[in-house]
Amino acid sequence: MLSVISYPVFLVSVVLSLVLSISLFPAGWFEFRPEWLGLVVFYWTFRAPAQFGVLMAWCLGLLLDVLEATPLGVNAMAMAMVAFLVLTIHQRLRMYPLPQQCLVVFLLLGVSQMLVHFIKQFLGADNPGFSYLWPALTSAILWPLVSSILDRINHKLG
Amino acid sequence: MIPWEGFAIKTIFVQGPVPGLRLFLVILVSAALIAADAHFDRLSPMRSAISTGLAPVHWLGNAPYRFSDWFSGLFVTRGDLEEENEELKTRLLILERRALKYAALAAENNELRHLLNSSETLDDRVVVSEVVGVSPDPFSHEIIINKGESDGVTVGQAILDAEGLMGQVIQTSQFTSRVLLVSDSSHAVPVEVVRNGLRAVLLGTGQSNELDLVHVPDTADIREGDMLVSSGLGGRFPRGYPVAEVSSITKEAGEPFVSIKASPEARLSQSRLVLVVFQRQEESVPDAIDSPATGEVN
């Protein structure tokens, strides 16, 4: 359980999260689209803190930057931040019951979204109020599902 | 279990400071990248390269829509197809008649322009392209189309749909390009009113069904229902394509300008097929400059 990482599963989950973050969501509900890549980064840093860390998260964030056409480095920095925070608390996180894990997911992804929007506004984007926190909430709701699915596949193959 | 946990904690305490240092480095690199990208615009080759590498992701992202198109195509009855065919034929007839009229008008127009000694306006060349994605960021209005550098698309080209102007290309990669829609809050189009040629600037508001016409004086002759077409003044958009229709005009006492809302003509959030416009002005403008010069020599 401690450091399980199956690289094929890792690759597939990353590609899938990138695809999901540009596709397959009903129009008009974009505000609520979960932060798929954030969830994947959270999961892999949490499950395999030795292999998956800040640098990897940064590289994935860079890919998201290209897909979202944000200035290169914005999402990268946010993802690195998520990975770092998970690394600092992952031992306690293992002891938490599931609802509390969800709360942590909400907090960390919320912090990363805040960072992203802080930088975007700094560069001159609109202020959307607090609606940018919706993805963090939907991601937190999806966390039990995502982690259990990835766990199951990971255990079979890892 | 317990000794294993203890072992893990020890190793992680040994690794402790490393993620912090890495985070610090990564933040420095990110800040440098953001500055280079947002302020100096130095990273477009890098972005374009990564984007080309991510083409499979774009392709996969679009796959469900293609599949659903294909799937709905499977279950069309013969009757529906015949009906559609009939409708298309009727429409074709109407459009052909119109095209005939336009051809005559265009020829006449060119002749008149020729008499006026100005450059001949050629028809713009267009390439049909498909929308393969929308921006995942709900606060920016961008779409991705499946024509890129390999099809000759360059930054700044205008994008149309069947109804009107949609936006402009802001980034290109090998096989896809990113289009900023007219409704994005950072977008502006120079337009004119068809009825009387009144010029103004049309700004995006961040809502896909509303645009702002700004800096129109209180006394200007503009009415609800007026059609706004691109004026071509910025040098970026070709002249004369419909952009929006004035939907509401509010005059506030004491304000120097009226606040005018317009609704875009193009179906910004629905069109699947778009046209990329290749302007031929680059070729015709030097001609226009050349001809008077040669005239003087002669």
β-pairing, B177-181 with B188-193?
unpaired
Contact B34 A72 (CB under 8 A): yes
Q: How many domains does chain B have?
A: 2
Q: Which position has the token pair 């002005």?
A: B281
Is B206 part of a structural domain of the chain?
Answer: yes
Is B246 part of a structural domain of the chain?
Answer: yes
Q: Rounded to 5 degrees, what angle do the CA atoms B125, B127, B129 make?
A: 160
B64 pLDDT band, cuts 50/70/90, is: confident
Q: Is B30 on the interface with A (CB under 8 A)?
A: yes
Structure confidence by residue, pLDDT tens digits, B147-177? 888 888 988 899 988 888 899 999 888 888 8
Contact B165, B230 (CB under 8 A): yes
Q: Which two tokens stand for residue B62?
A: 């679009």
ipTM surpasses 0.85: no
Is residue B211 helix, strand or coil?
A: strand
Q: Which residues of A touch B (CB under 8 A)?
A: 2, 15, 18-19, 21-24, 27, 30-31, 33, 49-50, 53-55, 58, 62-63, 66-74, 76-77, 80-81, 83-84, 87-88, 91, 119, 123-126, 128, 132
Contact A67 B185 (CB under 8 A): no
Question: Which residue in B has a C-alpha nearest to residue A49's C-alpha?
Answer: B12
- Closest partner residue to B38 (CB to CB) among A19, A71, A126 is A71
Is B16 part of a structural domain of the chain?
Answer: yes
Contact A68 B58 (CB under 8 A): no
Q: Which two tokens stand for residue B200?
A: 């103004």
Contact B51 A22 (CB under 8 A): no
User: Which residues on chain A are in Cβ contact (under 8 Å) with B26?
Assistant: 54-55, 58, 76-77, 80
User: Which residues on chain B are in Cβ contact (under 8 Å) with A132?
Assistant: 139
Amino acid at A44: W
CATH code of the domain containing B194 = 2.40.10.350
CA atoms of B118 and B127, how far apart (whole Å): 27
Contact A2 B8 (CB under 8 A): yes
Contact B33 A55 (CB under 8 A): no
Contact A66 B50 (CB under 8 A): yes
Q: How many CB atoms lie within 10 A of CB B222?
A: 19
Contact A66 B269 (CB under 8 A): no
Q: Can you name the residues that pair with B200 across neighbouring β-strands?
A: B191
| pTM, to two decimals | 0.62
Which of 104-133 (B) contact A at CB < 8 A?
133
User: Which residues on chain A are in Cβ contact (under 8 Å) with B204?
Assistant: none
Q: Rounded to the nearest 10 degrees, how much is the dihedral formed by the CA atoms of B100, B106, B108, B111?
A: -150
Structure confidence by residue, pLDDT tens digits, A99-138? 998 999 999 999 999 998 888 888 877 777 788 888 889 8
CA atoms of B131 and B273, how far apart (whole Å): 6
Contact B30 A77 (CB under 8 A): yes
Which candidate in B26, B155, B168, B207 is best for mutational testing of the A interface (most A CBs within 10 A)? B26
CA atoms of B209 and B166, how far apart (whole Å): 12
- The pLDDT score that the predictor gives to residue B281 is 52
CA atoms of B101 and B103, how far apart (whole Å): 5
Could you tell me the residue range of the domain that residue B198 belongs to? 188-265
- The pLDDT score that the predictor gives to residue B71 is 80
Contact A42, A120 (CB under 8 A): no
- The pLDDT score that the predictor gives to residue A127 is 73
Give the start-end residues of each E strand in chain B: 125-134, 142-145, 158-160, 165-172, 177-181, 188-193, 199-204, 211-217, 227-230, 242-250, 257-264, 273-278
Q: Which two tokens stand for residue B176?
A: 């896809």
Q: Which residues contact B166 (CB under 8 A, 6 or more apart)?
A: B143, B159, B160, B179, B181, B182, B266, B268, B271, B274
Is B243 part of a structural domain of the chain?
Answer: yes
Q: Is B267 on the interface with A (CB under 8 A)?
A: no
Amino acid at B172: T
Answer yes or no: is pLDDT of B294 > 50.
Answer: no
- The pLDDT score that the predictor gives to residue B202 is 92
For chains A and B, CB pairs below 8 A equal: 124
Closest-CA distance of chain B to residue A24, Å: 7
Contact A22 B136 (CB under 8 A): yes
Diameter over CA atoms, chain A: 47
Contact B27, A80 (CB under 8 A): yes
Task: Kindly give the parts of chain A with pLDDT less than 70.
Answer: 1-4, 24-28, 158
- The pLDDT score that the predictor gives to residue B110 is 73
Q: Which residues contact B255 (CB under 8 A, 6 or more apart)?
A: B218
**Domain ranges in chain A?**
7-157
- The pLDDT score that the predictor gives to residue B3 is 46
Task: Please report, for residues A158, B17, B18, B194, the alpha-carbon distance to residue B12 in angstroms, rounded to integers and kept in the order given.
Answer: 22, 9, 10, 70
